Structure 1
Amino acid sequence: MKVKLMVQKSVNLNAHALLASIKIRLVDVLETLLAAGMDPNMHRLHDDKWEYKHAMGYTRTALEEYPLWVAATQHGPENDKLTHEERETRDNSVKMVGLLLAHGADPFATFKSRNPSHMSEHVRSVINETKDSVLISVEELDAEPEFQKVSILHDLLEHGNLVHPILEMSNLDPHHRDSRGRTVLHAASLSRVGIHAPIDVLLFGAGQEVEGPRQSAPSFLHHLSSIGTDKLAVDNQGRNILHLMLVAANGHLVSCHPILWVLPLLSEAEITALTTQADVYGNTPLHLALRYAILRRDASPVEALLEAGADPFAQDNRGNTALHILAYRVAESEAPWTLFTKMLELGLDINTRNSTGQTPIFNLNRSLPVYIGHVGSARAEYVTPAQALALFEDAGADLFARDKHGAGLLHVAAQLKQKEFPRSNRGMRHEQMRVATRFELLVNKGLDVAMEDEKKRTALDVAAAYDNQSVLKLFDKDNVRNKVTAAELEEVGAEYDSDDMGF
């Protein structure tokens, strides 16, 4: 045991010397250490989580440091205002990466890092409790552990760091997969700069965007294709490059979504294969683009995929259609509204049931789950609850539909818990008013609050169980409608502004 500890201390000491020379960018010292036989693949363990401050202003958490990874992440962002010394420092980073590779550094060495796609146990409990899996399922969360083993190159690609010296290696294996079954091209698809960017692109300063392909070097897609990558490969979750571009956890630094640049670079046969590929959860790229549309209020990836021939009628493993997904935000944003009407024009059935027996209108009476995360964008025209309901009615939606457990729209509308409301008090108040307004609108359409589900629960029983006071206040102790309160709630609901929700 003592011998093992002594060996570990010796390794850490040598690793410390090697890493120190890299962090202060002493190229000559690094070259001397490597020439003396120091192992370029030695690494240092961290007892605690170590947060690395990225050039974009966010942090990423690692538990181990490899010299190659540290050298590549030392290369700062491109900036026209860089001084001569700063540019020399950047050049030194490129030299250090080259030295490490020349002495045998393994770009596919793995280390333990925090998974940016991981969600907490609270999130899982909310999903289990609400049985809400239209946007994300427990199975998808199970595939995203808190920590994961990642390769150096995969991690550098995903975060947009210095990679072109590695990609230009003559013996690079483009088919190498990480612990998630992702190839080098898959990792590039998750990049913040997109696979249409040149391989020598580096992260720009915080807040700046990569506008599109430059001509200084081949794009990630072209370069990796030239060395034999399989553009149709899928990872352990059955996801291809289009799927991954739509689930990138770190977002994108582009003025438009990378998928708009990439689709024109693919052949017709490749587009057909990629757009029809469903992952293990039954999601085609179009399903993920629809999620993206309601979370980012950006319909362009959906429109691009439809134009490329994606099947708008595809259902996921839970039977959800495009209408089920879009219904979440039809009453909140113009982009989902536009896409929803487009899907109806394409012939999607407004009364298609998913595996729980619910039609799309059930999701209209839910708020977008807080655990999914709300991402703001340009202010969109607000759609009132009454307008949204009218859209469904005009399309022939059955307001009296029940799911396989006998629950109707009022049961669902009564379920929203206070703890699931958005963060601000003002936003919470408006959300409560909106829930009450939706409930009132349905009652006005003739839905019966006394209707029972298979467990003999009425909608008011559900509201009481969820402590949904905004709905309970619509009725007195004898379950008779309180007209004054209802009118007041509807008036407040009409004043609702989506910006107050913190989206």
Structure 2
Amino acid sequence: MALAAASRAGDLDNLCVLLKAGADPNARDKRGKTALHEACSQGHDKCVEALLRAGALVSAHKTNGFTPLHYAAATGRASIISILLASFGFSGANACDRDHKGEQAIHLAARGGFVPAVEILLAHGASGNAASNNGRTSVHTASLHGHELVLRLLLSSGADPAACDTGGSQPIHDAAAGGHVGCMELLTQFGADPNASDCAGCTPLHRGSSAGEVDAARWLLKKGVDANCRDNIGSTPLYWAASRGRADVVALLIREGNADPSAPNAHRSPLHVAAGWRHLSVCDELLKAGADPLAVDREGLTVLQVAKTDDVAKLLDEELVASRS
């Protein structure tokens, strides 16, 4: 499509020649993308204006549901967002249009941390409380990616700091998983609970520990979150950290949170899971903290029996010998 190519390249002169010659401004490629999508994604303001004057549909949806506004928001094109929403006096773009995931343009702008884009969208009716198909708001998105300025803007506009997605996860869970302490602090200032549990019983400390985010875990401990809290199957944050090989978080939870190094879930102990996944440094931290090397799991297997590598087995053997002497 010559018109799409001109739009993509920002070749305004060629674009105008093609439009004057009768090129269809709403022609689509196999993915449903129009020349207006191309111009918006590449930030070519003048091409966008020319296409709109020629009758390009501002609300055209790609096969994935993306409108030109989605493209402009995803790339932080604030001036183009303004053009699309105004649309030269005609029916402008709808700030609340959704793609096939249920995401609005504000989700995409928040994901990229584009403050001016979010400001414009909010001014034209977008809401920080708008939820996607899986219940996630732009507050979740900004928190996950650590965009504090966008997060503050959304929360100040009335967005819910404790909105739950379909799995019960709140923005503070996402901030913890990303290690974004500034976002966690901001969310709690607006009323978020650092002890919040999702549908699986996981707290932000579970999520941050699993992700290996030491600073997030330390912040949560200082906020009084119990290092021995359990999810729905009895796993503690230490268990999650051990299963992912997060030795530094394991050490932190034991040292600063008084976490129980032997606390099992419904299936096995942290030492079992660390040995089974070959996490030697985690095994070492757990054993130094007093984890029981003779513990058996639900199937009756000892830690040594589930150990998958010689170095883990050697460490366990040494611990057993030391415990008998």
Q: 1:60 corresponds to which residue?
A: none
Deviations 1:398-418 (A, max 9, x none): 33322112x11211111225x
Q: Displacement of 1:267 after TM fit?
A: 4.0
Code of the residue aligned with 2:34 in structure 1: it is: Y
Q: CA deviation at 1:193?
A: 4.4
Bigger strand fraction: 1
1:235 aligned partner: 132
> What is the deviation of 1:263?
1.5
Asked if 1:350 is matched to 2:266, the reply is no
Consecutive unaligned residues of structure 1, counting only runs of 5 or more, are 1-15, 46-62, 76-92, 113-147, 198-219, 249-256, 331-335, 370-383, 418-434, 484-503
* Selected match of 1:315 from 165, 176, 197: 197
1:470 to 298, 302, 311: 311
Matches within 5 A, 1:203-352: 220-247=117-144, 257-263=146-152, 266-267=155-156, 270-271=158-159, 274-293=160-179, 298-328=180-210, 336-352=213-229
Written as runs of structure 1 = structure 2, the 5 A alignment for 1:417-428 is none
Query: CA-to-partner distance for each residue in 1:37-77, whole Å, 9 max, x for gaps?
Result: 432111223xxxxxxxxxxxxxxxxx5642112223444xx
Whether the 8 Å contact between 2:280 and 2:312 is mirrored in structure 1 is yes
Q: Note the C-alpha offset of 1:358.
A: 0.8
1:495 aligned partner: none
**What is the alpha-carbon distance in structure 2 between the residues aligned to residue 325 and residue 20 of structure 1?**
45
Q: Is residue 4 of structure 2 the alignment partner of residue 19 of structure 1? A: yes
Does the aligned pair in 1 maintain the 2:221–2:256 contact within 8 Å?
A: no
Match status 1:415 vs 2:276: yes
Shift of 1:393: 5.2
| Within-5 A mapping of 1:49-448 | 63=31, 65-75=33-43, 93-112=44-63, 148-161=64-77, 162-169=80-87, 170=89, 171=91, 172-190=93-111, 192-194=112-114, 196-197=115-116, 220-247=117-144, 257-263=146-152, 266-267=155-156, 270-271=158-159, 274-293=160-179, 298-328=180-210, 336-367=213-244, 385=248, 388-389=250-251, 391-392=253-254, 395-405=257-267, 407-416=268-277, 435-448=279-292
**For residues 477-496 of structure 1, what are the structure 2 equivalents within 5 Å?**
481=320
SS in 2 for 1:474: helix
Determine if contact 2:61/2:67 at 8 Å carries over to the other structure: yes
Unaligned regions of 5+ residues in structure 2, if any? Answer: none
* Amino acid of the structure 2 residue aligned with 1:308: F
1:31 aligns with 2:16: yes
Q: Deviations over 1:271-309 (max 9, x none)?
A: 5xx11211111111111111111xxxx421112212222
Q: Give the Cα–Cα distance (whole angstroms) in 2 for the partners of residues 390 and 324 of structure 1.
A: 13
- 3-state SS of paired residue (2:149): helix
Structure 1 window deviating more from structure 2 (95-104 vs 392-401): it is 392-401
Given that residues 473 and 482 in structure 1 are in contact (C-alpha distance below 8 angstroms), is that contact kept between their aligned partners in structure 2?
A: no
Q: Is the 8 A contact 1:154 1:184 kept in 2?
A: yes
**Conserved? CA contact 2:106–2:118, under 8 Å:** yes
Q: Distance in 2 between matches of 1:105 and 1:233?
A: 27
Query: What amino acid is the match of 2:238?
Result: I
Matches of 1:259 and 1:305, distance apart in 2: 10
Q: How much is the aligned-residue C-alpha RMSD, in angstroms?
A: 3.0
TM-score (normalizing by structure 2): 0.83
1:182–1:326 CA distance, 2 compared to 1 (3 A): closer
TM-score, structure 1 as length reference: 0.56
1:397 Cα deviation from its structure 2 partner: 2.4
Aligned length: 317
Q: Is the contact made by 2:211 and 2:241 (CA closer than 8 Å) also made in structure 1?
A: yes
Identical amino acids, percent of aligned pairs: 28
- Find the aligned partners of 1:279 and 1:329 in 2 and give their Cα distance: 19
